[in-house]
Amino acid sequence: MRKFWDMIAEARRRGDSAGMHPRTYYPLAYAAVPAEELLDLLTLDTARIAAWGDTYFDTHFSRAVTRRLRRDATARAKIEAYIMASDTGDTSASCFASLTASAFPLSEELTGNLTTRLQRQLLLHAPDMTHDYVSGTDIPVPVLLLQILHSGI
């Protein structure tokens, strides 16, 4: 399976199609990608989904990511570190935090980081918008952060 995934990953890095339906690609990709490459794959796939402008495959994508984060503490730690990094924008942080919260209860440190982001967003005249792949909706960042913090999704 590793050789097969390497061929697909190389094609995707070149901007080529994976050669399979997204309902097949997402579960395969997020099961096979090494933990150290997960963040890069998430970033590429979210950019591709945004470019499509279609939410049809959001649930397939979010389920595959959630399954991976539930079973892989190393991958989850990498995503949490990205969310908490000071140079990560609130839009990306809230999007990835939603995926993380759907997989696992948030740590106190991550909850504190998201609370700080929420406070910053509430000071803006017009809050940022993001796409939440868990719900399949475009949503203001503060609303998504409130949902994550209130219910853990």
pLDDT grade for 1, boundaries at 50, 70 and 90 = low
Reduced to 3 states, what is the DSSP secondary structure of residue 132?
A: strand
Q: What is the helix (H) or strand (E) element at residue 140, kind and residue range? A: strand 137-140
User: What is the pLDDT at residue 5?
Assistant: 74
Distance (Å, whole) CA 112 – CA 141: 16
The amino acid present at 117, given as its one-letter code, is R
For the whole model, what pTM was predicted?
0.87
Instruction: Enumerate the H helices of the chain as residue ranges.
Output: 2-13, 22-32, 35-52, 58-71, 73-84, 90-103, 108-122, 141-151
Instruction: Find where tokens 């099961």 sit.
Output: 31
pLDDT grade for 54, boundaries at 50, 70 and 90 = confident
For the segment 64-112, what is each residue's pLDDT rounded down to a tens digit? 999 999 999 999 999 999 999 999 999 999 999 999 999 999 999 999 9
Average pLDDT, the chain: 91
Distance (Å, whole) CA 39 – CA 97: 13
